Chain A
Amino acid sequence: MCQARSVNNIQFAPHRYLEQSPIAGATSTIVGSIGTSTSVGMISIGYPSTNTPPAVFIKIHSLPNNKLSMPIDIVVEPDEDGFFASAPDIPTLYGCGNTRTEAVEMLTREIESLYEDLIGGDQFTADWEDTKKYLMSRIIK
């Protein structure tokens, strides 16, 4: 488990706990623990600790009803007995669930739901514009 691996062409140093497992529309998953982490590019890498359940860093390549032109980064962390998913580039959204999969699936639905709202007829305050631009740049109708 502590041997170096390459995930999405990112090479990680040895002695870091890395693992790949598919979640929802994600194609890459890095498992580590939060609290002691570093960054390589857009992805934070966690290190193992004794009691903290691992945080999972994934890239979502599709939404339930739409495709993405570029993946969206998602972080899934433990939250009491369940899991909490967030997208650093869309801080107004979250997903939660009893499992990581549930949390990610809720977040992907939320991303899609917000996108539909933003491009719909409702009026939004100006500070939603950045989120709208971001989602429009990622989501392929």
Chain B
Amino acid sequence: MDNNKYNTHEVKCICENKLRISFKGTKELNGYFKIDGKNAARITVAKGRKDIPPKTYKSMASQLCLDVDQFDKMLVCDMKPDEYESIIRSKKS
């Protein structure tokens, strides 16, 4: 689990850049990963540059329908958007 490598701001930026998620919200930031124009996965990221404790990190992964290893991989930039989309499609079908 790579939760110590990233803060909330970094996770938010990666989600924006790699998963094309747009965040909104005042106290927390929420964003949806869309498939075919429909909201498929919803992730919540705390505002600011906060450390991410293990349960929160695991829950963020779960929100994106990923396990922790897949989430690690996505954050470290091994996972491409198409690969993530294929995971989501397989879990949503």
Residues in B with CB closer than 8 Å to A92 are: 42, 62-63
Cβ of B86 within 8 Å of any chain A Cβ, yes or no, is: no
Residues in A with CB closer than 8 Å to B59 are: 84, 86, 94
Show the binding face of B for A, using Cβ within 8 Å. 25, 27-28, 30, 32, 35, 37-40, 42, 44, 46, 51, 53-56, 59-60, 62-63, 92
Given A79-B53, A82-B53, A86-B59, answer yes or no on A124-B44 (Cβ-Cβ < 8 Å): no
Show the binding face of A for B, using Cβ within 8 Å. 77, 79-82, 84, 86, 91-94, 96, 106, 109-110, 113-114, 117, 122-128
Contact B28 A124, beta carbon cutoff 8 Å: no
Bound complex: CA A94 to CA B46 (Å)? 11
Contact B27 A77, beta carbon cutoff 8 Å: no
Q: In terms of DSSP, what is the predominant structure of the interface of chain A? A: mixed
Residues in A with CB closer than 8 Å to B32 are: 117, 122
Bound complex: CA A125 to CA B39 (Å)? 6
Q: Give the 6 A-B CB pairs with smallest separation, nearest first.
A: A80-B53, A79-B53, A84-B55, A94-B59, A79-B55, A123-B38
Bound complex: CA A117 to CA B51 (Å)? 27
Report 27 cross-chain contacts, Cβ distance below 8 Å, ordered by A residue.
Answer: A79-B54, A79-B55, A81-B53, A84-B59, A91-B62, A92-B62, A92-B63, A93-B44, A94-B44, A94-B55, A94-B59, A96-B55, A106-B27, A106-B28, A109-B27, A110-B28, A113-B25, A113-B28, A114-B30, A114-B42, A117-B42, A122-B39, A123-B38, A124-B38, A125-B38, A125-B40, A128-B39
Bound complex: CA A125 to CA B46 (Å)? 25
